[in-house]
């Protein structure tokens, strides 16, 4: 059954057993080392630094975490088992309304992929209607993650509305965790059509919604990324968009690796 924003699809109860994370989060380490994580995702850890990023953002045992647009499930494979084992809640927010047929297919596939309660616990799925209906009850989420999606919010001109949705669903003191392709030091294209976003744009739009930048990190920096490619950021891995012209050499871009990314932590005060 599929429900509109604020309503949920829930699997079975979280897997048995609880644990408390310490400064060295052994539960998180074990989730990262789990054999069921897809091999192609594990290979990306060298670029995405999942342990260091989640620790920087402030992930704690027992949180209610909302993963906004969890395309591909990279963070789901880590966060859902972690929250299941620490009496937390994982929520994946997936666009369903535009277009509805593809959105429902995406929600169905996501729910099916993470339906194994022994591994993932009770995964909750909500409809993300950008800039419109609430993501859930007000003040109900401890930690909200946006990974490489803000450039799309800019391109589709609903960034201000989504930031309001983020602020509304977060609890006072809640964390808004951001990872995205960083335009700096060069100027951002007005519509972020090449995928790169200026930090100042994110900070400004978040502040309008009442979210304050608390800290930034260079965990996901890549100084090799010159941010000027035939197909924007999608020229680089993992997308690796290419053409067949004789002047295009795939190896020139593969050697750069994944993009230079901002890693930001905002707080709802």
pLDDT tens digits, one per residue of 36-82: 999 999 999 999 999 999 999 999 999 999 999 998 899 999 999 99
Residue 123 contacts residue 11 (beta carbons within 8 Å): yes
Instruction: Give every CB contact of residue 43 below 8 A, 6+ residues apart in sequence.
Output: none
Q: Model pTM?
A: 0.90
Look at residue 4 and tell me whether its pLDDT is greater than 70.
no
Mean pLDDT, the chain, integer? 91
Rounded distance between C-alpha atoms, residue 40 and residue 31, angstroms:
16
> Would you call 251 exposed, middle or buried from its count of C-beta atoms within 10 A (0-12, 13-18, 19+)?
exposed
Position 103 scores a pLDDT of 79
Instruction: Give every CB contact of residue 148 below 8 A, 6+ residues apart in sequence.
Output: 179, 180, 181, 261
Position 85 scores a pLDDT of 97
Rounded distance between C-alpha atoms, residue 136 and residue 127, angstroms:
9
Rounded distance between C-alpha atoms, residue 86 and residue 17, angstroms:
8
Look at residue 218 and tell me whether its pLDDT is greater than 80.
yes
Percentage, residues of the chain above pLDDT 90: 85
């Amino acid at each position: 059954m599929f429900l509109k924003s604020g309503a949920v699809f829930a699997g079975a109860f979280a897997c048995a057993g609880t644990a408390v994370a310490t400064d060295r989060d052994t539960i998180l380490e074990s989730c990262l080392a789990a054999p069921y994580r897809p091999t192609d995702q594990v290979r990306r850890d060298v670029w995405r630094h999942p342990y260091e990023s989640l620790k920087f953002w402030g992930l704690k045992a027992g949180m209610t975490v909302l993963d906004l647009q969890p395309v591909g499930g990279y963070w789901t494979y880590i966060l859902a088992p972690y929250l299941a084992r620490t009496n937390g809640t994982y929520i994946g927010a997936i666009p369903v309304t535009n277009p509805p047929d593809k959105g429902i297919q995406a929600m169905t596939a996501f729910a099916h992929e993470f339906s194994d309660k022994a591994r993932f616990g009770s995964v909750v799925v909500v409809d993300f209607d950008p800039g419109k209906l609430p993501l859930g009850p007000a003040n109900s989420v401890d930690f909200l993650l946006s990974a490489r999606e803000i450039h799309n919010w800019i391109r589709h001109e609903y960034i201000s509305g989504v930031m309001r949705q983020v602020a509304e669903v977060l609890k006072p003191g809640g964390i808004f965790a951001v990872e995205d392709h960083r335009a700096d030091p060069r100027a951002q294209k007005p519509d972020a059509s090449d995928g790169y976003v200026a930090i100042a744009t994110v900070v400004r739009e978040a502040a309008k919604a009442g979210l304050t930048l608390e800290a930034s990190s260079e965990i996901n920096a890549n100084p090799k990324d010159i941010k000027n490619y035939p197909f924007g950021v999608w020229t680089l891995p993992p997308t690796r968009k290419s053409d067949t012209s004789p002047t295009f050499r795939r190896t020139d871009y593969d050697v750069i690796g994944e993009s230079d990314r901002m890693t930001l932590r905002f707080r709802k005060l």
